[in-house]
Structure 1
Amino acid sequence: MAGLTNWTRSGVIATLTIDNPPVNAISQAVRAALVEGIARANADADVAALVIACAGRTFFAGADLKEFGKPSTQPLLTEVVDTIEASAKPVVAAIHGTALGGGMEIAMACHYRIATQDAKLGLPEVKLGLMPGARGTQHLPRLVGVERALDIIALGDPVKAPDALAMGLVDRIADGDLGSAAIRFAGEMAEKPPRRTRDLAAQKVDDGVYVEFAKRNARKFRGLDAPPAIIASVRAATELPFAEGATREREIFLKLRAGPQTEALRYVFFAEREAAKVPVIAGIDPRPVERAGVIGSGTMGSGIAIALISAGLPVHLFERDPAALARGQAHIAKVLDSNVASGRMTSAKADAARALLSCGTTIDALADADLIIEAAYETMAVKQEIFASLDRIARSGAILASNTSYLDLDEIAAATSRPADVVGMHFFSPANIMKLLEIVQGAETSPDVLATAFALAKRLGKVAVLSGNAWGFIGNRMLAVRRKHAEAMVVEGAAPEQVDGVMEAFGMAMGPIRVGDLAGLDLGWSPETSTGSTIRERLCEAGRRGQKTQAGFYDYGEDSKPVPSEEARRIIAEFARDNGVVRREFSDAEVLDRLLWPMVDEGAQLLEDGIALRESDIDVVWLNGYGWPAWTGGPMYHARHVGLSEVVRRLEEMGIGASPALFALARGEPK
């Protein structure tokens, strides 16, 4: 194991340092080295205690991704954890960087834990549809209590070292050099018997604690198998002896691992990383971005500004209308204050972000920006006017980005003399929260401009996906297909609440009819040009323009909750009659098929047209921008799970038909 391990001695204290870059993943070789290290310490009469540490930037940061989906190899992590805990000599974990997943389970198996001030510890397995499977659900309640254990395991978010110290997860924060502090700590513990976590009692709590925890997080847990499994396993820690609880944990873990959700969530994990691998920018250096400009202070523009200043970028926010600018500034201030109040941002970071923002009503103030993002009204004339102005005032080499969600990027770029500097950066609202960023490549967009957009997305904490230039790009083009079929079914006889209920039961937070009401049925509509030829136009003509008017497909009260509307039903029935539509009942299964499979067909066409680079990119768009339930993997993954040939059959059965692109994908199964 030369190169992987380093064994050193400081008097009677031995230190086993693992060096498995970049993140000290717990590979088979690492597991074997840990078992061997414990044996060596126990066999050496001159060693009184052992420190387990890691080289590089972090403690063990989790499992080895190369082993995902492959048969388990000896020694298993459970064997490693049991071996460490059973050591006759005290073992101290010296934690820096992150101790995640199996890394935290190793730390909890050690008899004592010392961490750097900035270290983090966590059990994020739930985000892959799993739970800790190496005594984690049994050890943690014994260290921090049931309530904190449930938060850490079922929510999957890491704990900072000072908080870990306060709750008893670590014993000390290192003062100065971690290695030296760990050796001193081990020296103090050397004369004491090992303090084994398994020997501590996990205090029972009232059943209401579990019920309230599940209720409080019902939205987060909806549809997921792992959270209730975690709750059951943590409960076992309080009700069973350690060995029996560990056996129960392993049974639950293996059942989850064999289930469909973890396979889908692992796919999502890798799909998000794959989306960043764009061939056209491989080896291309991004342009430096030190100052940014944002055009438009509405909800989207102010959200983009918040995202930029929160990431440490100076931003000038331009808005022609002083009143609108004032509203935008107030919104930005309110969001930053809210972030501080909720603990998402420190007061110092919020103050630093505020200091990075300047505002004005003169577009010339953007002249020295390295990147300018336009977030103005969604009409081509407005976009072209703005880009023509930017062409005049922006410095040479500045990147000109449009936040357009539907329009032709090349037509926008044609308003400038530098189309190579123009790129689409489609943020999703609220832009300071939503993770997705569609990066749109125009016909002449330079590779280094694309590389810069991807680098900025990473800086902002966004998941970026490349899209070609087409109406609606990836997400909204598929969304339009779903909306078309949702509204068609309502006209044909399905109730709006049935259509929404089916989609929400599938796992979406909100059904397509409610989404339309929320966004506004009058988007792109005007009374002067309305012909009443669509159900949306009929509703708008009746003053039912969505939630903002308290009437759309549904009625809305002061609480903004949708209520089935007799007036809307009458308008829909009249529209169907006027257009010769014979109304009928729909089964829930038919509603779901008609909402899902035309979208997948559109996805196949996006791939054939070269708008989407890969199927997984389409899934990443829908997972991060539209609330698609992650445990189903995304629309394209879900379709492959059902079988593309079966999807084609169901489309044909509904009389919709499948495109040649989808037929081609189906012929290529499996993938």
Structure 2
Amino acid sequence: MSTVSLHKQGRIGVIAVDHPPVNAISQAVREGIITQINAANADGHIAAIVLIAKGRTFMAGADITEFGKAPKSPGFPQVINALEQSHKPVIAAIHGTALGGGLELALACHFRIAHEGAKLGLPEVTLGIIPGAQGTQRLPRLVGLPLALEMIVSGKPITAPKAHQAGLVDDLVKGDADALPRAAIAYADKIITDGTAPRRLSQMEVPQNGSEADLLAKARADATRKMRGVLAPQKAIDALEAALTLPFEDGAAKERAILGACMASPQSKALQHAFFAERKAARLPKHAQNATPRPFNQIGIIGGGTMGCGIALACLGAGLYVTMIERDADALKRAQNSIHKSLDEILARGRIDKAAHTTQGALFSITTDMAALSEADIIIEAVFEKMEVKKSIFRDLDKVAKKGAILATNTSYLNVDDIASVTGRPADILGLHFFSPANIMKLLEVVEAKKTAPDVLATAMVLAKKIRKIAVIARVCHGFIGNRMLEGYLREAGLLMLEGATPQQIDKAIRDFGYPMGPLQMIDMAGMDIGYMLRKQFPASRFDPNAYRVMNRLVEMDRKGQKTGAGIYRYEAGNRTPLPDPAVDKITEEEAQKAGITRRTISDEEIVDRCILSLVNEGARLLEDRIAMRASDIDVTYLYGYGFPRWRGGPMFYASQRGLDKICDRIKQFGETVGTRWWTPAPLLQKLAQEGKTFTDFDAE
């Protein structure tokens, strides 16, 4: 069957794109649209043209397989020109999504109708670029500057009803999927009957009321505040400003120039890497690729604390039955209240409707009787981070759970193989490390133990997708991927503070690098007592005691962070803003003296390099140890779990982009100045640097 076909329905020519799964605008699609537009214009029996797509969506954007490659003829601008210059009216019929190039293509048509469930957007800024097929010029001419700014600068799509209200689409179609083709034909017939001429947006002016300069200034300020360090939103505003001040062709030329500069930028490369890395992370390892996932509908959760309730909310939101187990009646009541309060808040914010609120509430049950989990398909333990507690629970689960049930531990650090060893079913066991709050945070580390069955791993990845998580597969080690690397990041922050940098300087340097918060702010937010208790379980050889001297003293003074109103920073009642505290400076100076450390002036550059390169070096060791399958999986972990700036691509991509030879040299410099215990380049890092390669050349799968 042809990728793009033309058939006649009365006096209407229907051009149908059929390029599953998402009708990406590939070379074949581009060539087919031009061919069929020309054919329809040459056919004297056709008076109007409908452009429609088959399958589950309209054209969802560019073909990602063509990213980074030389464009093949015909180019997208030729398609846009063919549609707009058609002398017969062209109506785009939109269902599913019209994103990026898909929406630009629809804007080149003379009219647009959309199914009520469709979404329309120009998300190019999320890839570090701007719309490049005259989208920044056509959209404001159709809907005005305010909505064009909202859509293009944020990259977020809007619903079809909002698009209809704004004039982006001319008619809204209700009913099932079959209603759209019928409505499109009827709309085209009306265009013909009314004698309506093609409406070419390139011939229109942007509607203005004198407030445009203020709108642009506000958009720039908002983008600076909300998307700190990201260049594409500002460049998109430049292109939209050109739509206001220049003739269409000149504005389109400026758009092309801006697009070219964006595409050549390191940020665009990093954001595109992040885009592909997320999709690559979903791939199973070779030994599990042919495994059939086990069916599941009932989820058991042991533990109704913050983590357990978060996991429950994520599962309820996906329409799964959830049975929660708590230890006693008081804990049960607290967890039950927490779940229902959270559902009420989600309803109040408009994130679910009343029907969904009722449904999710009905899917939830809670009891103190472990036997209630006898029919659960997947059981997730989410209790205190202590090995003996977890082992005790898994011994009980081994007696209660049905044959074939998957048993998962939500441990952040502990050895999943050791937990599995206390059961008679180690093949059914793995780790599911959620990040708190589990109903909000996107990352899920799926930890494959030595004896985890391939179909168990495959099922975990299906569960992750169903509850809308970005899953990364890790193997067993202390801390898995994310927390094993985090140890070095936090260690360096603690040492830098002892060596002479203030907490506010450290945090500001990391925020300026692009993180939403610095490492010491993060410690205060999480609570210092957690790390304090964990360190008591580890031998001193595992960590640098000097790095935690200040934090240990603060915990022992009952300064545990935000929750106690004071930690590394102090906090005023009802306010989470971290405030410098001279008392902490004094404690730091005392502890530096006890450790024999001479304090000095430390540059922001050193702060950033010691914190970030500690991640890179440990990430290289994770790849060597086969804990992570791919360097890109490490990047996804840090982008979604730890706030690493997306526009830098992740720690491993950042290092590759900077040059692994330069990274190695910098690590060796720190070895000379602060000691080789932590600052010796990982063997893999040295090997790749010597061979002139990057982490993207290494695949540990």
Q: How does 1:157-236 map to 2 (within 5 A)?
A: 157-174=156-173, 177-190=179-192, 191-204=195-208, 205-216=211-222, 218-236=224-242
Distance 1:25 1:3 in 2: 15
Match of 1:85 in 2: 84
Query: Counterpart amino acid of 1:589?
Result: E
* Alpha-carbon spacing, 1:370–1:527, altered in 2? closer, same or farther (3 Å): closer
Q: Secondary structure at the match of 2:570?
A: strand
Match of 2:560 in 1: 545
Match of 2:674 in 1: none
Query: Counterpart amino acid of 1:590?
Result: E
1:361-390 deviation digits (Å, cap 9, x = unpaired): 222211211111111111111111111111
Match of 1:374 in 2: 381
Distance 2:294 2:138 in 1: 48
Q: Does residue 616 of structure 2 align to residue 600 of structure 1? A: yes
Match of 1:666 in 2: 689
RMSD: 1.9
* Alpha-carbon spacing, 1:14–1:524, altered in 2? closer, same or farther (3 Å): closer
Q: Secondary structure at the match of 2:439?
A: coil
Q: Secondary structure at the match of 1:651?
A: helix
Match of 1:618 in 2: 634
1:373-427 deviation digits (Å, cap 9, x = unpaired): 1111111111111111111111111111011001111111122221111110001
Match of 1:464 in 2: 471
Q: Do 2:378 and 2:408's aligned partners in 1 also have CA atoms closer than 8 Å?
A: yes
Greater CA drift, 153-162 or 628-637? 153-162
Match of 1:555 in 2: 570
Distance 1:322 1:669 in 2: 62
* Alpha-carbon spacing, 1:21–1:79, altered in 2? closer, same or farther (3 Å): same
Q: Do 2:61 and 2:99's aligned partners in 1 also have CA atoms closer than 8 Å?
A: yes
Distance 2:488 2:684 in 1: 16
- C-alpha displacement of 1:174: 3.0
- C-alpha displacement of 1:134: 0.7
Q: Secondary structure at the match of 2:8?
A: strand
* Alpha-carbon spacing, 1:529–1:82, altered in 2? closer, same or farther (3 Å): closer
Match of 2:605 in 1: 589
Query: Counterpart amino acid of 1:202?
Result: V
Match of 1:437 in 2: 444
Query: Counterpart amino acid of 1:53?
Result: I
Distance 2:346 2:254 in 1: 40
Q: Secondary structure at the match of 1:582?
A: coil
* Alpha-carbon spacing, 1:293–1:218, altered in 2? closer, same or farther (3 Å): farther
Q: How does 1:568-579 map to 2 (within 5 A)?
A: 568-579=584-595
Q: How does 1:272-287 map to 2 (within 5 A)?
A: 272-278=278-284, 279-287=286-294
- C-alpha displacement of 1:669: 3.0
1:331-373 deviation digits (Å, cap 9, x = unpaired): 3223323323333222222222111111122222112111111
Q: Do 1:544 and 1:552's aligned partners in 2 also have CA atoms closer than 8 Å?
A: yes
Match of 2:507 in 1: 500
Q: Do 1:265 and 1:631's aligned partners in 2 also have CA atoms closer than 8 Å?
A: yes
Q: Do 2:375 and 2:402's aligned partners in 1 also have CA atoms closer than 8 Å?
A: yes
Match of 2:413 in 1: 406
* Alpha-carbon spacing, 1:326–1:665, altered in 2? closer, same or farther (3 Å): farther
- C-alpha displacement of 1:310: 0.2
Q: Does residue 362 of structure 2 align to residue 360 of structure 1? A: no
- C-alpha displacement of 1:240: 2.2
1:420-467 deviation digits (Å, cap 9, x = unpaired): 111100011111111111000111111111111001001111111110
Match of 2:245 in 1: 239
- C-alpha displacement of 1:156: 1.7
- C-alpha displacement of 1:485: 1.0
- C-alpha displacement of 1:64: 1.0
- C-alpha displacement of 1:29: 2.2
Flag structure 1 segments of 5+ consecutive residues without an equivalent.
Answer: none
1:189-242 deviation digits (Å, cap 9, x = unpaired): 122211122233312333222333344454531111111111222222222222
Distance 2:559 2:146 in 1: 47
State the percentage of identical aligned residues.
47
- C-alpha displacement of 1:24: 1.3
Distance 1:567 1:511 in 2: 20
Q: Do 1:150 and 1:234's aligned partners in 2 also have CA atoms closer than 8 Å?
A: yes
* Alpha-carbon spacing, 1:614–1:668, altered in 2? closer, same or farther (3 Å): farther
Query: Counterpart amino acid of 2:551?
Result: R
Q: Secondary structure at the match of 1:9?
A: strand
Q: Secondary structure at the match of 2:255?
A: helix
- C-alpha displacement of 1:72: 2.2
Match of 1:646 in 2: 662
- C-alpha displacement of 1:82: 2.2
Q: Secondary structure at the match of 2:51?
A: strand
1:577-612 deviation digits (Å, cap 9, x = unpaired): 111111111111111111111211111111111101
Query: Counterpart amino acid of 1:569?
Result: D
Distance 1:217 1:287 in 2: 45
- C-alpha displacement of 1:527: 13
Distance 1:122 1:529 in 2: 51
Q: How many residues align?
A: 670
Query: Counterpart amino acid of 1:147?
Result: P
Query: Counterpart amino acid of 1:157?
Result: K
Q: How does 1:7-46 map to 2 (within 5 A)?
A: 7-46=6-45
Distance 2:470 2:256 in 1: 34
* Alpha-carbon spacing, 1:144–1:640, altered in 2? closer, same or farther (3 Å): same
Match of 2:117 in 1: 118
Distance 1:483 1:141 in 2: 47
Q: Secondary structure at the match of 2:197?
A: coil
- C-alpha displacement of 1:177: 2.9
- C-alpha displacement of 1:165: 1.4
Distance 1:397 1:424 in 2: 16
Flag structure 2 segments of 5+ consecutive residues without an equivalent.
Answer: 672-678
Distance 1:336 1:578 in 2: 51
Q: Does residue 62 of structure 2 align to residue 47 of structure 1? A: no
- C-alpha displacement of 1:526: 5.9
Match of 1:514 in 2: 521
- C-alpha displacement of 1:529: 7.3
- C-alpha displacement of 1:572: 1.0
Query: Counterpart amino acid of 1:198?
Result: S
Q: Does residue 144 of structure 2 align to residue 145 of structure 1? A: yes
Q: Secondary structure at the match of 1:317?
A: strand
- C-alpha displacement of 1:528: 13
Q: Does residue 268 of structure 2 align to residue 262 of structure 1? A: yes
Q: Do 1:468 and 1:612's aligned partners in 2 also have CA atoms closer than 8 Å?
A: yes
* Alpha-carbon spacing, 1:141–1:330, altered in 2? closer, same or farther (3 Å): farther
* Alpha-carbon spacing, 1:202–1:321, altered in 2? closer, same or farther (3 Å): farther
Q: Do 2:219 and 2:237's aligned partners in 1 also have CA atoms closer than 8 Å?
A: no
- C-alpha displacement of 1:36: 2.2
Distance 2:4 2:532 in 1: 67
Q: Does residue 468 of structure 2 align to residue 453 of structure 1? A: no
Q: Does residue 429 of structure 2 align to residue 422 of structure 1? A: yes
- C-alpha displacement of 1:518: 1.3
Q: Do 1:527 and 1:541's aligned partners in 2 also have CA atoms closer than 8 Å?
A: no
Distance 2:113 2:534 in 1: 68
Q: Do 1:604 and 1:665's aligned partners in 2 also have CA atoms closer than 8 Å?
A: no
Q: Secondary structure at the match of 1:485?
A: helix
* Alpha-carbon spacing, 1:28–1:448, altered in 2? closer, same or farther (3 Å): same
Q: How does 1:527-546 map to 2 (within 5 A)?
A: 534-546=549-561
Q: Do 1:601 and 1:661's aligned partners in 2 also have CA atoms closer than 8 Å?
A: no
1:52-78 deviation digits (Å, cap 9, x = unpaired): 112222211110112110112332222
- C-alpha displacement of 1:639: 0.5
Distance 2:59 2:525 in 1: 45
